[in-house]
């Protein structure tokens, strides 16, 4: 696998941490968004770094930013776009393919939903 084969937006550790965190949003959260503060706490990024890297993800179309009213103040929230979810799936798929000895170019646009048996017989995605 060549470096150019990986999405350069997601290849940066801070951006990958942001996208992976936002993608793991618990289903029970009614608002389905991460606040800036919660995302900062979860990723361990400094305010400035989170701001810059989130902006790059927004510009790439991977994240959506929303302002919501909480009490007397505006709160910045983020959620994952469909494009961001697809990009993360492709990125993970290429890494998985590399581990499995594949070419790293599996087409994940159809969305892998069928689990494959692992070596120990358990099902893995």
pTM of the model: 0.73
- 7-25: pLDDT as tens digits: 889 989 999 999 999 998 7
Backbone angles phi, psi at 12, to 5 degrees: -75, 125
Domains of the chain with CATH codes: 3-124 (1.10.10.10)
> Shortest CA distance to 58 belongs to which of 38, 77, 31?
77
- Mean pLDDT of all residues in the chain? 80
Q: How many CB atoms lie within 10 A of CB 48?
A: 8
Q: Please state the rounded mean pLDDT for residues 45-73.
A: 94
């Amino acid at each position: 696998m060549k470096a150019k084969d990986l999405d350069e937006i997601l290849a940066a550790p801070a951006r990958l941490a942001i996208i992976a965190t936002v993608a793991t949003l618990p289903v029970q959260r009614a608002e389905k968004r991460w606040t800036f503060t919660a995302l900062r706490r979860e990723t361990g990024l400094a305010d400035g770094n989170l701001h810059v890297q989130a902006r790059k993800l927004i510009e790439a179309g991977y994240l959506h930013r929303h302002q919501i009213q909480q009490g007397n103040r505006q709160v910045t929230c983020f959620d994952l776009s469909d494009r961001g979810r697809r990009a993360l799936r492709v990125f993970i798929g290429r890494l998985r393919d590399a581990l499995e000895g594949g070419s790293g170019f599996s087409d994940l646009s159809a969305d892998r939903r069928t689990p494959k048996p692992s070596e120990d017989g358990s099902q893995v995605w």
